[in-house]
């Protein structure tokens, strides 16, 4: 048996390395240098297309916890990132050229990896490859022909554009200024949290919203007609008139504020985002505002004054699967057990999240090729929680997700202090993942925890 990996990005390089380290012959297909996506510029692998920051490094944070789990699991990308770091306060930032060159060098010189420089146009040959297991890691800007082939195989369950509303933590919503109810009393009472505003609050909010600073769009986003159709950003809709959003996503009809006994002037509804009820989505608030502006302007809604954001709203091109209907938590496809997916395509979001899914997909592809059971990490670990989040069959309206503490199961003894809480989540997850790896016979390094 051999392993095919499509795409030498963050997920693909990590997947190829993990399979190769387990003794399998790996064919890594990459369309560079002949063809590049609109965001990729260099000829090297694992290119960081935008920021050079891999986010927080402190183990006692969601992003730091994920990175430490990857170190525990012998991640190639973490090893290279640690060697290419540049000063960035509490974040792990890297010299992007050095990082990408180092990953490329390790991949090209691995005795078990053969790089195949060509664009993969179709999945058929991989589905028919009876001696191979394939990991598809062609990223958010997967080339057109391959996207089409994936779409055909998976019944059209592929999105090409991410127009997402922000997601906030349930515990940060000020319930003194909010109430649970569904419109006209229909459905489950606690499915929605309503954030009412009076006339003065609404007018102030509206003024700030239309004047707030927006994020620049890439050329390939500006030219995408979907940006301003179907999923119009809230700030663009607000520009059409002072009352437009009050008759749209913020309409107060069918709702009565129990505190005043009246219908509010305007209402933002928050909808439960996950089964745990730890995250809520701002309904109809897809936005292209800069992240600090989202916090400032949406914070003018009284219930969101101190809201903690698990994910900010974004509007950009992003190819991702409807994974809850397609993937298992080991990143294999339900319909095609010899196909695995990895990276941003699966609906994990971010550089290291993509790499971590590549790590698991590469490890599991190798395990399947060797006739071993595939593994899903414990739900208390960030890698395990993310793989469960993207593959949870109950999720209706799937949106990509990065590492955050809201995807983890609640703590038994939950510290009140935020920092202590983050530490408790991280230590629990890292201890569980070490125990799990030790029982499953996988090689691992002990976590670097300094309590
Ligand atoms: C414009 C943009 C900016 C982003 N900025 C950030 C950021 O600042 N921070 C962050 O954390 N995340 C960011 N992301 C999100 C995400 O983390 C990155 O896109 C990340 O690179 C995803 O990793 P990946 O391995 O899934 O895909 P990629 O790293 O994109 O790798 C995919 C690889 O597949 C190759 N490929 C594509 N199609 C084919 C084909 N048909 N045949 C062969 N090879 C193919 C590509 O050339 C590429 O090398 C950004 C995404 C985009 C699109």
The residue written with tokens 């510029």 in the block is 41
Atom of ligand 1 nearest to the CA of 342: 26
Report the separation in Å between the CA atom of 424 and the middle of ligand 1, taken as the mean of its atom positions: 32
Which protein residue's CA is at the shortest distance from atom 15 of ligand 1? 350
354/359 Cα distance (integer angstroms): 9
- pLDDT band for position 187 (50/70/90)? low
Ligand 1 centroid distance, CA of 124 (Å): 23
pLDDT for 94: 94
User: Which atom of ligand 1 lies closest to the CA of 121?
Assistant: 41
Looking at residue 137, its pLDDT comes to 98
Question: Relative to the CA of 55, which ligand 1 atom is closest?
Answer: 11
Distance (angstroms) between ligand 1 centre and the Cα of 345 equals 9
8 Å CB contact between 403 and 66:
yes
Residue 4 CB–ligand 1 contact under 6 Å: no
- For residue 449, what pLDDT is reported? 87
Residue with tokens 């006739």: 371
> Residue 226 burial (CB < 10 Å; 0-12/13-18/19+)?
middle
* Alpha carbon distance 101, 47 (integer Å): 9
The verdict on the CB of residue 49 being under 6 Å from ligand 1 is yes
Closest atom of ligand 1 to 318 CA is 53
Question: How far apart, in whole angstroms, are the C-alpha atoms of residue 300 and residue 313?
Answer: 16
Q: What is the mean predicted confidence (pLDDT) over 425-451? A: 95
Q: Would you say the CB of residue 72 lies under 6 angstroms from ligand 1? A: no
Lowest mean pLDDT among 4-13, 220-229, 319-328, 414-423: 220-229
* pTM as predicted: 0.89
Q: Is the CB of 381 under 6 A from ligand 1?
A: no
What is the whole-number distance in angstroms between the Cα of residue 251 and the centre of ligand 1? 38
Q: Whose CA is nearest to atom 18 of ligand 1?
A: 351
> Which atom of ligand 1 lies closest to the CA of 11?
25
Which element (helix H / strand E) includes 210? helix 199-211
Nearest to 395 by CA among 275, 271, 284: 275
Which of residues 220 and 2 earns the better pLDDT score? 2
Q: What pLDDT, on a 0 to 100 scale, did the predictor assign at position 161? A: 75
- Checking if the pLDDT of 229 tops 60, the result is no
Spacing, Cα 419 to ligand 1 middle (Å): 32
pLDDT at 261: 93
Q: Is 354 in the pocket of ligand 1 (CB under 6 A)?
A: yes
Cβ atoms < 10 Å from Cβ of 117: 14
The residues with which 214 forms a beta bridge, in sequence order, are: 289
Determine the distance separating the centroid of ligand 1 and the alpha carbon of 428, expressed in angstroms: 31
The pLDDT score that the predictor gives to residue 317 is 79
Q: At residue 96, does pLDDT exceed 90?
A: yes
| 9 alpha carbon – ligand 1 mean position (Å) | 6
* Residue of 431, 430, 426 lying closest to 415 (CA atoms): 426
Q: Is the CB of 8 under 6 A from ligand 1?
A: yes
- The DSSP letter of residue 213 is P
Instruction: Say if residue 216 is exposed, middle or buried (CB neighbours under 10 Å; 0-12, 13-18, 19+).
Output: exposed
CB distance 138 to ligand 1 below 6 Å: yes
275 CA from centroid of ligand 1 (Å): 29
Q: What is the pLDDT of residues 341-397, one digit of tens each?
A: 999 999 999 999 999 999 999 999 999 999 999 999 999 999 999 999 999 988 877
In the predicted structure, residue 157 carries a pLDDT above the cut 90: no
- Mutational test site, ligand 1, from 29, 139, 342, 350, max ligand atoms within 8 Å of CB: 139
Pocket lining: 50 vs ligand 1, CB cutoff 6 Å = yes
Distance between Cα 10 and ligand 1 center (Å): 7
For residue 106, give the nearest of 130, 78, 65 by alpha carbon. 78
- Residue 287: per-residue pLDDT: 92
* CA–centroid distance, residue 116 to ligand 1 (Å): 18
Q: Which residue has the tokens 């899914």?
A: 357
Nearest to 267 by CA among 286, 288, 253: 253
- What is the Cα–Cα distance from 332 to 391, expressed in whole angstroms? 10
DSSP assignment of 426-445: HHHHHHHHHHHHHHHT----
Residue 228 has pLDDT above 70, yes or no: no
Q: Tell the residue number behind the tokens 């090893």, with chain if given.
A: 79
Q: For a pLDDT cut of 70, what percent of the chain falls above it?
A: 96
Q: Is the CB of 51 under 6 A from ligand 1?
A: yes
Domains and CATH numbers, the chain: 2-159+320-440 (3.50.50.60), 167-313 (2.40.30)
**Ligand 1 atom, smallest distance to 13 CA:** 25
* Structure confidence at residue 276 (pLDDT): 82
Lowest mean pLDDT among 158-162, 190-194, 294-298, 311-315: 158-162
- Ligand 1 pocket check for 120: Cβ under 6 Å: yes
The ligand 1 atom at the shortest distance from the C-alpha of residue 7 is 34
Residue 197 Cβ contacting ligand 1 at under 6 Å: no
User: 359 CB less than 6 Å from ligand 1?
Assistant: no
Of 109-123, 227-241, 350-364, 415-429, the one with minimum mean pLDDT is 227-241
Predicted confidence at residue 92, as pLDDT, reads 95
List CB contacts of 442: < 8 A, sequence separation 6 or more: 73, 363, 375
pLDDT tens-place string over residues 1-40: 999 999 999 999 999 999 999 999 999 999 999 999 988 9
- For residue range 164-173, what is the model confidence (pLDDT) as tens digits? 899 999 999 9
């Amino acid at each position: 048996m051999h392993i095919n990996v499509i795409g030498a990005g963050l997920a693909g390089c990590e997947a190829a390395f993990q399979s190769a380290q387990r003794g399998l012959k790996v064919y890594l297909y990459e369309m560079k240098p002949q063809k590049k996506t609109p965001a990729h510029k260099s000829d090297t692998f694992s290119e960081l297309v935008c920021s050079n920051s891999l986010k927080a490094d402190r183990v006692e944070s969601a992003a730091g916890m994920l990175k430490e789990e990857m170190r525990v699991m012998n991640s190639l990308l973490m090893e290279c990132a640690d060697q290419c770091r540049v000063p960035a306060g509490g974040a792990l930032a890297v010299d992007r050229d050095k990082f990408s060159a180092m990953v490329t060098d390790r991949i090209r010189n691995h005795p078990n990896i053969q790089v195949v420089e060509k664009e993969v146009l179709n999945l058929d040959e991989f589905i028919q490859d009876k001696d191979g297991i394939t990991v598809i890691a062609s990223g958010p800007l997967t080339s057109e022909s391959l996207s089409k082939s994936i779409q055909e195989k998976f019944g059209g369950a592929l999105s090409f554009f991410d127009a997402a509303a922000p997601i906030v933590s349930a515990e940060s919503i000020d319930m003194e200024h909010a109430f649970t109810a569904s419109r006209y009393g229909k459905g489950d009472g606690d499915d929605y949290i309503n954030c009412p505003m009076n006339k003065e609050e609404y007018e102030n909010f509206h003024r700030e919203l239309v004047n707030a600073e927006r994020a620049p769009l890439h050329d390939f986003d500006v030219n995408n007609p979907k940006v301003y159709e179907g999923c119009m950003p809230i700030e663009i809709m607000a520009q059409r008139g002072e009352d437009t959003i009050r008759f749209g996503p913020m309409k107060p009809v069918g709702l009565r504020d129990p505190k005043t006994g009246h219908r509010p002037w305007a209402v933002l509804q928050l909808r439960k985002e996950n089964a745990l009820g730890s995250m809520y989505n701002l309904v109809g608030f897809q936005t292209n505002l800069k992240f600090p502006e989202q916090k400032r302007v949406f914070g003018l809604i009284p219930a969101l004054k101190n809201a903690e954001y698990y994910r900010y709203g974004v509007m950009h091109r992003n190819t991702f699967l409807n994974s809850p209907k397609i993937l298992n938590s080991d990143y294999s496809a339900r319909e095609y057990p010899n196909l695995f997916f990895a990276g941003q395509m699966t609906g994990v979001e971010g550089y290291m999240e993509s790499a971590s899914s590549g790590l698991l997909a590469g490890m599991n592809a190798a395990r399947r090729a060797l006739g071993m059971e595939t593994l899903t990490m414990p739900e208390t670990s960030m890698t395990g929680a993310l793989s469960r989040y993207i593959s949870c069959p109950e999720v209706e309206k799937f949106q990509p997700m990065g590492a955050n503490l809201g995807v983890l199961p609640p703590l038994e003894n939950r510290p009140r202090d935020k920092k202590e809480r983050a530490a408790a989540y991280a230590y629990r997850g890292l201890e569980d993942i070490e125990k799990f790896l030790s029982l499953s016979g996988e090689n691992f390094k002990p976590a670097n925890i300094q309590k």
